[in-house]
Amino acid sequence: MINNKRVLIIIPAWNESASIADVIREVRGELPEVDLLVVDDGSTDDTAKVARAAGATVSRLPYNLGVGGAMRLGYRYAYENDYDVAIQIDADGQHDPRYVPKLVDHLDEASLVIGARFAGEGDYTVRGPRKWTMVMLSGVLSRMAKTKLTDTTSGFRACNRDIIRLFAEWYPVEYLGDTVETTVRVIRLKHKVIQVPVAMRARQAGTPSHSPAKAMVYLGRAFITLLLAIARR
């Protein structure tokens, strides 16, 4: 419970046995009053076992569906178990659970609250095509949302009951759909979206992709995802 609201933290995890236990322990330590659901997206390592041992409820998908599939399962769980607030956190330790109460507080003003880098706190930086992508996405989405959104691909977000219900039945599986497309949809359904500055940490396990070619592909995909999201009914 945070502010008398039943809060569920959803952690999608795919082969994250190296970092998942630490993330769970940290969330448990910082926020003992919230429930924790780890969605194991068909991992081939012992992510589910490690997560269960660390004290989380674990939902295990029979095969890998991608972040979108894992997230929809998380929201379905939140919807069926009647939670007031659902919050996504990455399994790689980038998101600091100490910001969770801050996100929940801002749900009084909006239906979806994005924990954003590049918004004052923290010193996370990107360059090149990756930066252009973020500039383009945040430009378009800020205009649509009529508020400043600087980090639209952030997976650190909190939402209220209305959005839980929406995401429980509709959540895209495609890459970037889980962040960009969902945001566009939420805005177009006339829900308020805002961002709250958070500091992000370096990931504790796994490596980010840094090659310029990949970054260009990323830009292209972001562009297509955005166009489709806007064109879709």
Binding positions for another protein, rule: CB under 8 A: 37, 39, 57-63, 65, 69, 72-73, 76-77, 80, 173
Question: Which of 149/168 has CB closer to another protein?
Answer: 168
Question: Which of 171/218 has CB closer to another protein?
Answer: 171
How far apart CA 68 and CA 177 sit, in angstroms, is 7
Helix (H) or strand (E) run with residue 134 in it: helix 128-145
For residue 51, the minimal CB distance to another protein (Å) is 12
Question: Which of 28/191 has CB closer to another protein?
Answer: 28
How far apart CA 226 and CA 134 sit, in angstroms, is 12
Task: Give phi and psi for 164, each to the nearest 5.
Answer: -55, -45
Question: Which of 61/200 has CB closer to another protein?
Answer: 61
The number of residues in the chain equals: 233
How far apart CA 137 and CA 218 sit, in angstroms, is 12
- Give the CA dihedral 104, 112, 83, 71, nearest 10 degrees: -120
How far apart CA 221 and CA 214 sit, in angstroms, is 10
Question: Which of 72/130 has CB closer to another protein?
Answer: 72
For residue 148, the minimal CB distance to another protein (Å) is 34
Biggest CA-to-CA distance, the chain: 48
For residue 65, the minimal CB distance to another protein (Å) is 6
| Strand 112-116 to 7-13 pairing | unpaired
For residue 137, the minimal CB distance to another protein (Å) is 25
Name the residue among 56, 160, 172 with its Cα closest to residue 110: 160
How far apart CA 125 and CA 115 sit, in angstroms, is 16
Question: Which of 37/116 has CB closer to another protein?
Answer: 37
How far apart CA 64 and CA 70 sit, in angstroms, is 8
For residue 91, the minimal CB distance to another protein (Å) is 16
For residue 80, the minimal CB distance to another protein (Å) is 7
